[in-house]
Amino acid sequence: MTDIPFNIDELREDIDTEAKLAAGRDGKGALPTDFWETYSAFANTDGGVILLGVSEKDEGVFEVVGVEEPDRVVQPLWNLLNNPQKVSRNLLTDASVKRYPTGNGRWVIEIEVPCASRKERPVFINGNPLTGTFKRLHSGDYRCREDEVRRMIAEQVEDARDAKVLHGFGLDDLNMESVDDYRNRLSAAKPAHPFLGAKTPDFLRKLGCFGKDRNSGEEGLTLAGLLMFGRQETILEAVPYYFLDYREIPVAGTKTEWDDRLVPDGTWSGNLYDFYRMVILRLFRDLKVPFRLVREERQDETPVHKALREALINTIIHADYSLSTALLVIKAPEYFEFRNPGRMRVPVAEALEGGQSDCRNRTMQRMFSLIGMGEQAGSGIPRMLENWKSQHYRPPELVENVHPEFTTMRLRTVSLLPESVLTELRERFRGAFERLGVNERLALATAMIEGYVSNGRLRQITEMHPRDITLLLRGLVAGKMLDADGKGRGTTYRVTGVPPVDRGASESSAHSNTNPTHLNVNPTHLNANPTHLNVNPTHLNDEIFNPCEDLNLLDIAAKVRNTGKADKQLIKETILELCRDRFLTPQQLGKLLNRSYMSLRERYIKQMVEEMLLERRFPNQPSHVNQAYRTREPSP
């Protein structure tokens, strides 16, 4: 309890805030019934502050009302926090709950809910994680889907997600050319390494590509082995949403325009090791960075090279490949962007400081480290930041997105305060700009260069306290130099007179579900935003038709649909039976058989067309966007 009156203007902008009246039926005070949904949502997202005794009149406009008898709120709060039938975990301490007088004999109760660690999530209510788990999205609390809850549970119990043993997968599911190249690279990096003397199966076992399920005793290929050295079609059988994407954007281009693009299109293995090998060469290509002299010897691997290499490897080893968001790498004239599906396992601030390592795919991390690529023990991101800053570039941006879940690292090849930007700001604001301090100028320059600035971004650039940043940004708004968009943690600021950046639209291609099982296009022709695909209306009904609503087709597909790794001949026979007297697209077959459509097309459909078992709807256009297949009737 404190004697300091509550000041609504002191709210921190870097923390989500939820206001609840907490008046109760008699108006004297009661814990709101929807408090627990917000508690769960804050705990499972980024934390936040719940204000009891405050109402929100309009978006971001609060009115202090106060609670007459605060004990009627606080005592039930502690009782229920320690009741596992009500809430799965108590994250609060005495310091988390504060009471502030309002000046009219009432009180505001401030409850700061911390973000739960991955070992503590999901935080759920009413005894059922599948129905009682919530997350925060913008300014609302949303019940998590079952797959989201199960992913939280997997994150909680599996320290290394890629150590999972895959039943039914083996050596024949790997691309041996990738394995051989890795072995050669290990030999070049560490010629005397003991792994090199082992035969291929034992070599892969030592790397962690093969493991043993401790419950069943079954040995098999691990997820790490399949992702690192597998073939695209077999990877998709185990990880249906797996998709890799590299784009090279021209000057004045957008994320839907590119000079060069690399996606798994059947011309290469599609595994992570080969993706790394091919992308790192593209990132380094035409890199305008001078070499350095160390002890009179030329060092071609500059800090920029090292930073890009570390960023690419971090993207690969921290990705959650069970999510439907693609792993994306972009090379643009003034920045590099690395995006991996899944959020950070540690808070962003701690990741930037380093020292705490919680890699999602530790087996692959060790594989890269073994050949001299990537840092261990939490030093990777700080080392990357250090290398980037050594070139006097703007500090990298590290941003998490809640829905869909992904993490983005953006490395800009421009300085903190480019003279051209300062000149533009001086022309725009005249003498007012000259009277600004260094941090105010930095905030305006960041908004001009990056499209917007936020409290979180300035914390990555400066050493200012979040509260001071909030006051600085509000001052620039009051001075009519910045306009604010959004509220709370999501508030962004743009230079006054500059149109707002539609981050959802401008990055739709980069952040949309580029899951190949949901795109009605041949991956070799992926040149359109999937939300705006040009579909031939003549055949639109075929794409709308959901085959899983046809009980007859479901019965035919059941013998494959309900099994893990089915016999190849059985799959072929089932495809022929499903396509008899009807055209079906690979996507529709994928839904029926519970298989990746790309895997079906590459491993079965192409061969069956060549064997004259299937016929194409568009025989003269094999890559037609609405291509479908029907069982070919035998000649009389």
pLDDT band at 89 (very low <50, low <70, confident <90, very high): very high
Contact between 461 and 417 under an 8 Å Cβ cutoff? The reply is no
- Domain spans, the chain: 8-157, 171-325+341-386, 419-501, 535-631
H, E, C per residue of 450-514: HCCECHHHHHHHCCCCHHHHHHHHHHHHHCCCEEEECCHHHCEEEECCCCCCCHHHHCHHHHCCC
Asked if CATH classification 3.40.50.2000 holds for the domain at 419-501, the reply, yes or no, is no
Contact between 482 and 469 under an 8 Å Cβ cutoff? The reply is no
Question: Distance (Å, rounded) from C-alpha 162 to C-alpha 159?
Answer: 9
Coil, strand or helix: which one is 120? Answer: coil
CB burial of residue 363 (10 Å; 0-12, 13-18, 19+):
buried
State the maximum Cα–Cα separation within the chain, in Å, rounded to a whole number: 96
Question: Distance (Å, rounded) from C-alpha 87 to C-alpha 96?
Answer: 17
**Is the per-residue pLDDT at 480 higher than 90?**
yes
Contact between 557 and 570 under an 8 Å Cβ cutoff? The reply is no
pLDDT band at 508 (very low <50, low <70, confident <90, very high): very low
Q: What is the number of helices (H) and of strands (E) in the chain?
A: 26, 22
Mean pLDDT of 296-315: 80
Per-residue confidence (pLDDT) for residue 575, from 0 to 100: 95
Per-residue confidence (pLDDT) for residue 390, from 0 to 100: 81
Per-residue confidence (pLDDT) for residue 531, from 0 to 100: 33
Using a pLDDT cut of 90, give the percent of the chain over it. 52
Contact between 383 and 310 under an 8 Å Cβ cutoff? The reply is yes
- Quick: pLDDT tens for 179-196: 999 999 999 999 999 999
Contact between 156 and 121 under an 8 Å Cβ cutoff? The reply is yes
Per-residue confidence (pLDDT) for residue 534, from 0 to 100: 34
- Quick: pLDDT tens for 384-418: 888 887 888 888 889 888 878 999 999 998 888 88
Domain topology for 8-157: 3.30.950
Return the beta strands (E) in 179-333 as ranges. 210-212, 219-221, 244-248, 260-262, 292-294, 297-299, 327-332
Torsion region of 4: left, alpha or beta (phi above 0 gives left; psi -120 to 50 gives alpha): beta
Mean pLDDT of 243-247: 95
Task: Specify the pairing of strand 327-332 against strand 244-248.
Answer: parallel
More confident residue, 423 or 8: 423
Question: Distance (Å, rounded) from C-alpha 32 to C-alpha 41?
Answer: 15
**Is the per-residue pLDDT at 545 higher than 80?**
no
pLDDT band at 634 (very low <50, low <70, confident <90, very high): low
pLDDT band at 348 (very low <50, low <70, confident <90, very high): confident
Residue type, 242: Y
- Give the C-alpha distances (Å, rounded to integers) separating 175 from 167, 171, 267, 269, 272: 18, 9, 13, 7, 11
> Phi/psi of residue 187, each to 5°?
-65, -40
| Average pLDDT over all residues of the chain | 84
The structure tokens listed for 592 are 């029926």
Mean pLDDT of 280-307: 71
- Give the C-alpha distances (Å, rounded to integers) separating 442 from 387, 416, 459: 21, 7, 12
Mean pLDDT of 323-338: 93
In this predicted structure, which of 198-202, 269-273, 375-379, 462-466 has the lowest mean pLDDT?
375-379
Using a pLDDT cut of 70, give the percent of the chain over it. 86
Contacts for 183 with CB less than 8 Å, ≥ 6 apart: 196, 203
Per-residue confidence (pLDDT) for residue 542, from 0 to 100: 39
Per-residue confidence (pLDDT) for residue 255, from 0 to 100: 62
**Cβ neighbours, 10 Å, residue 378:** 18
**Is the per-residue pLDDT at 172 higher than 70?**
yes
